[in-house]
Every structure is written in C-alpha cells, then in structure tokens.
Amino acid sequence: MRQYIRLHDDDNVVVALDNLQQHHIIETDAEPLQLLDDVPPYFKVAIRDIASGAPVIKYGMCIGTSTETIARGQLVHVHNMCSNYL
C-alpha cells in the first residue's frame, strides 16, 4: 500500500492513503517530508510551503485558497483553506 498519492506534477498537496501520524517521515521526489499533523486517509498534506492567500493545487488545478501560511508537512483542510467558489 502506498502512503500517499500525488495526482499531478504541479500539485502542492498530496493525498494520504493511510493514517499517517504526526512526525512520521514520508519520502518525496524532493527531500523527505516530516508530517506536522496527523493526517487521516484521503486528507491532504502540503508538500510545499503555501503562502497565505495562495492557490491550493490538486489535479493540477486550483481547489481553493489558503487562509493562512501553510508549512510543508501540514494538514490542508477547512481550518486553513477555503473555496474560491461563491
């Protein structure tokens, strides 16, 4: 079983496929990434730092905007990003 899936090369988040614990280290194309939060299956983790107000990219497309600075390794969900759709 894979630990996560990256759906597109442009993505700044990946999707966890398993229960990943805080401090767990996952391998990436770049440097290994230490998780800053617990990440349940099918939730997203930032694989790059995302500035406040920057687009969150999944499937190579924008799925919303960060509402605060998100560090590489943080869980990305309703607490730190929002929809661009009104």
Contacting residue, 61, 67, 69, 71, with other proteins by CB under 8 A: 61
- Residue 63 neighbours by CB under 8 Å, 6+ apart: 56, 57
Give how far the C-alpha of residue 58 lies from the chain's centroid of Cα atoms, to the nearest Å.
Answer: 9
Residue 84 as a binder of other proteins (CB under 8 A): the answer is yes
Q: Which stretch binds other proteins (CB under 8 A): 9-17, 21-29, 30-38, 46-54?
A: 9-17
Please say which residue, 25 or 62, places its beta carbon nearer to other proteins. Answer: 62
- CB atoms closer than 10 angstroms to residue 37: 18
Please say which residue, 24 or 43, places its beta carbon nearer to other proteins. Answer: 43
Residue 82 as a binder of other proteins (CB under 8 A): the answer is yes
How many helices and strands, by DSSP H and E, does the chain display? Answer: 0, 9
